[in-house]
Amino acid sequence: MSTDETGQDGTGAPNTGAKSAAAKADIHGQGKGLVQLITPSGERVSHPEFDPWVQDITDEQLCALLEDMTVIRRIDVEATALQRQGELALWPPLLGQEAAQVGSGRSLRTDDFVFSSYRENGVAYCRGVDLTDIVRVWRGNASSGWDPYSINMATPQIIIGAQTLHATGYAMGIQNDGADSVAVTYFGDGATSEGDVNEAMVFAASFQVPVVFFCTNNHWAISEPVRLQSHIQLADRAAGFGIPSLRVDGNDVLAVMAATRVALDRARRGGGPTFIEAVSYRMGPHTTADDPTRYRDANELEDWAAKDPISRVEALLDRKGLLTEALKQQVKVKADAVARDMRTGCTTMPEPQPMDVFKHVYSTPNSWLDRQQDHYARYLASFGDPAEAVSEEGAR
Partner 1 sequence: MTQMTFARAINAGLRKSLENDPKVVLLGEDIGALGGVFRITDGLQKDFGKHRVVDTPLAESAIVGTAVGLAYRGYRPVVEIQFDGFIYPAFDQIVSQVAKLHYRTRGAVKMPITIRVPFGGGIGSPEHHSESPEAYFTHTSGLRVVTVSNPQDAHTVIQQAISCDDPVLYFEPKRRYHDKGEVDESLDPLSAMPMDQARVLAEGTDVTLVAYGPLVKTARDAALAAEDEGISIEVIDLRSLAPVDYDTVVASVRKTGRLVVTHEAGQSGGIGAEVAASITERCFYYLEAAPVRVTGFDIPYPYSKLEMHHLPGLDRILDGVDRALGRPNSLSGLEG
| Residues at the contact surface with partner 1, assessed by CB under 8 A | 113, 115, 142-144, 147-149, 154-155, 159, 162, 164-177, 183, 195-196, 199-200, 202-203, 206, 359-364, 366-369
CB 139 within 8 A of CB 88: yes
* Sequential DSSP letters for 297-331: -HHHHHHHHTT-HHHHHHHHHHHTT---HHHHHHH
Nearer to partner 1, 115 or 213 (CB): 115
Nearer to partner 1, 324 or 366 (CB): 366
Least distance to partner 1 from the beta carbon of 158, Å?
Answer: 9
Least distance to partner 1 from the beta carbon of 38, Å?
Answer: 34
Nearest to 72, CA basis, from 41, 98, 35:
98
**Max Cα-Cα span within the chain:** 74
Least distance to partner 1 from the beta carbon of 34, Å?
Answer: 31
Q: CA–CA separation, 30 vs 16, rounded Å?
A: 24
CA dihedral sign, ordered 306, 311, 313, 318:
negative
Least distance to partner 1 from the beta carbon of 132, Å?
Answer: 14
Q: Which of 269, 295, 340, 362 is catalytic?
A: 295
286 given a catalytic annotation: yes
125 given a catalytic annotation: no
Nearer to partner 1, 33 or 352 (CB): 352
Nearer to partner 1, 199 or 236 (CB): 199
Least distance to partner 1 from the beta carbon of 367, Å?
Answer: 5
SS (H, E, C) 146-176: CCHHHHCECCCECCCCHHHHHHHHHHHHHHH
Nearer to partner 1, 174 or 215 (CB): 174
Least distance to partner 1 from the beta carbon of 41, Å?
Answer: 42
CA dihedral sign, ordered 368, 374, 375, 379:
positive
Least distance to partner 1 from the beta carbon of 184, Å?
Answer: 12
One-letter identity of residue 283: M
Nearer to partner 1, 8 or 206 (CB): 206
Helix 98-105, helix 253-268: angle, nearest 10:
40
Nearer to partner 1, 177 or 392 (CB): 177
Least distance to partner 1 from the beta carbon of 244, Å?
Answer: 19
Q: Which of 74, 237, 261, 286 is catalytic?
A: 286
319 given a catalytic annotation: no
Q: Which of 106, 282, 312, 343 is catalytic?
A: 282
Neighbours of 386 (CB within 10 A): 15
Nearer to partner 1, 163 or 280 (CB): 163
CA dihedral sign, ordered 23, 24, 29, 33:
positive
At residue 208, what are phi and psi to the nearest 5 degrees?
50, 50
One-letter identity of residue 109: R
Chain-centre distance for alpha carbon 143? 18
Nearest to 194, CA basis, from 207, 170, 213, 172:
213
Q: Report how many helices (DSSP H) and strands (DSSP E) the chain contains, helices first.
A: 16, 9
Q: CA–CA separation, 181 vs 268, rounded Å?
A: 6
Q: Which residues are catalytic?
A: 282, 286, 295
